[in-house]
């Protein structure tokens, strides 16, 4: 098989049409060197892409319009026209149009991912308000993918070169967080994280730190009972099969660099994990949905309406999400290959050792 055919096919959704999604895609895929690592497929519309390309005069963005996945061009960016009609793009505005076409792109790309036409998916930012519809009643991408692929649970796992942070709860109001912190939910998240660290990140024996919910991790029950009643029992049970430690007070954990001693950290809620992550990831953080049979990544930021259409968007996180998608795919394939036909591999090893011994005997 040629190297061109071995490259993974990576899909890209356009996100909110009035946000920075298409600008990020153009800036990321302008670098022709990326074509050495994957075959990009953008689910959008050529006219919408050209709209943003005009505001990026330095972008050397070449593409091929494809209608069938069997005709993808491995040496160019491939564009799938998800819609044909003219669309009024108004950068920076939150309106129905931006959400409608973001959803069309997402639905088409997710379908292609599930059917195996693409091997991984990078999603551009959506706005949670204007994308709501009869077919999208979710607080974000993560629960959408969970339902679409029919899995019991997933983890919103933030990934950077120097840290990984998972969440027990995601986009829910602060007043409801404690209600969703249960022993079962913590155990489920830990199990998914442990598996993802092994299969998707190549960590043989993952060490996971768990943060407390309350200030000072509850101070032995003086400032809240969740640590004593829920989090500690969950950690104790998880230790039967995993290397899990905590609960740690969230305020000092990151400030003292304790996250560097672990392969991942499980935070109890969104801001507890995302504030330190975004502060320490230096603009190159990636959002990964762990627990899916497929691979989906995204940048760690939103639609950035305030700079949309101005050519100012920093594509560092989007580029990192693209490479992370490719790397996770390689790791997952390598993990599966290592565990394929273990008896045959063992027999081959025994035979090889026997041959080596025979050679040494003859030479002696």
What would the DSSP string read from start to end of 109-173?
HHHHHHTTSSSEEEPPP--TTTT-SSS--SSSHHHHHHHHTT-S--EEEEEETTEEEEESS-S--
Phi and psi of 286, rounded to 5°? Answer: -130, 140
**Nearest alpha-carbon partner for 31 in 73, 74, 61, 3:** 61
* Long-range contact pairs involving 225-229 (C-beta distance under 8 Å, separation at least 24): 226/178, 226/181
CATH of residue 80: 3.40.718.10
Same domain (yes/no): 180, 262: yes
Do 70 and 163 lie in one domain? The reply is no
Mean of all residue pLDDT scores within the chain: 92
Mean pLDDT of 337-351: 57
Beta carbons of 328 and 294 less than 8 angstroms apart = no
Do 175 and 264 sit in the same domain of this protein?
A: yes
Residue at which a domain ends, from 251, 272, 291: 291
Q: Which of 50-59, 181-190, 237-246, 319-328 has the lowest mean pLDDT?
A: 50-59
Type and span of the H or E element at 193: helix 183-199
Q: What is the pLDDT of residues 93-131, one digit of tens each?
A: 999 999 999 999 999 999 999 999 999 999 999 999 999
- In the chain, the DSSP E strands lie at 9-13, 39-44, 63-65, 77-81, 120-122, 155-160, 163-167, 207-211, 243-248, 264-267, 286-290, 296-299
Residue 312 · residue 347 · CB < 8 Å = no
Report the C-alpha dihedral over residues 246, 251, 254, 256, rounded to 10 degrees: -90
One domain for residues 189 and 276: yes
Residues 302 and 275 in one domain: no
Residue 189 confidence (pLDDT) = 98
Regarding whether 211 and 78 lie in a shared domain, the answer is: no
Last-in-domain residue among 234, 258, 291:
291
Domain count, the chain: 2
Tell me, yes or no, whether 122 and 175 share the same domain: no
* C-beta separation of 209 from 273 below 8 A: no
Judge if 284 and 353 occupy the same domain: no
Choose one of 291, 315, 332: the last residue of a domain: 291
Domain identity same for 143 and 211: no
| Angle of CA points 279, 282, 285, to nearest 5° | 90
Taking the C-alpha atoms of residue 103 and residue 261, their distance in angstroms, rounded to an integer, is 40
| Cα torsion 234, 239, 240, 243: sign | positive
What pLDDT, on a 0 to 100 scale, did the predictor assign at position 282? 83
Q: What is the maximum span of the chain, computed from C-alpha positions, in angstroms?
A: 82
Whether residues 136 and 164 fall in one domain: no
Strand partners, 210: 266
Rounded to two decimals, the pTM is 0.89
Domain residues for 248? Answer: 152-291
Tell me the Ramachandran region of residue 311: left when phi exceeds 0, alpha when psi lies from -120 to 50, beta otherwise: left
Residues 37 and 70 reside in one and the same domain: yes
Same domain membership, residue 129 and residue 34 = yes
């Amino acid at each position: 098989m040629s190297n061109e055919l071995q490259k993974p096919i990576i899909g890209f959704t356009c996100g909110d049409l009035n946000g920075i999604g298409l600008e990020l895609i153009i800036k990321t895929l302008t670098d022709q060197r990326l074509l050495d690592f994957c075959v990009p497929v953008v689910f959008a519309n050529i006219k919408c892409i050209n709209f943003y390309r005009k505001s990026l005069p330095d972008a050397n963005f070449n593409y091929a319009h494809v209608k069938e996945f069997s005709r993808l061009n491995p040496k160019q960016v491939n564009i799938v026209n998800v819609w044909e009609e003219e669309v009024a793009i108004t950068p920076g505005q939150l309106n129905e149009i931006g959400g409608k076409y973001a959803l069309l792109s997402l639905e088409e790309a997710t379908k292609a991912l599930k059917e195996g036409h693409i091997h991984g998916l990078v999603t551009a930012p959506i706005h949670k308000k204007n994308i709501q519809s009869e077919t999208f009643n979710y607080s974000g991408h993560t629960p959408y993918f969970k339902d679409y692929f029919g899995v019991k649970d997933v983890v919103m796992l933030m990934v950077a070169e120097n840290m990984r942070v998972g969440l027990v709860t995601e986009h829910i109001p602060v007043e409801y967080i404690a209600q969703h912190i249960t022993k079962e939910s913590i155990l489920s998240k830990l199990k998914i994280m442990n598996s993802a660290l092994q299969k998707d990140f190549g960590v043989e024996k993952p060490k996971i730190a768990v943060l407390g919910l309350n200030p000072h991790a509850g101070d032995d029950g003086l400032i809240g009972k969740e640590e004593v009643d829920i989090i500690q029992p969950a950690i104790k049970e998880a230790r039967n099969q995993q290397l899990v430690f905590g609960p740690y007070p969230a305020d000092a954990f990151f400030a003292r660099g304790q996250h560097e001693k672990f392969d991942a950290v499980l935070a109890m809620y969104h801001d507890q994990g995302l504030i330190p992550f975004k502060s320490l990831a230096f603009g190159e953080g990636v959002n990964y949905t762990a627990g899916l049979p497929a691979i989906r990544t995204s940048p760690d930021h939103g639609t950035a309406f305030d700079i949309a259409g101005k050519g100012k968007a920093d594509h560092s996180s989007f580029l990192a999400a693209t490479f992370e998608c490719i790397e996770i795919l390689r790791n997952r394939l390598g993990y599966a290959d290592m565990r394929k036909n273990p008896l045959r591999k063992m027999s081959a090893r025994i035979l090889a050792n026997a041959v080596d011994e025979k050679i040494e005997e003859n030479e002696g």
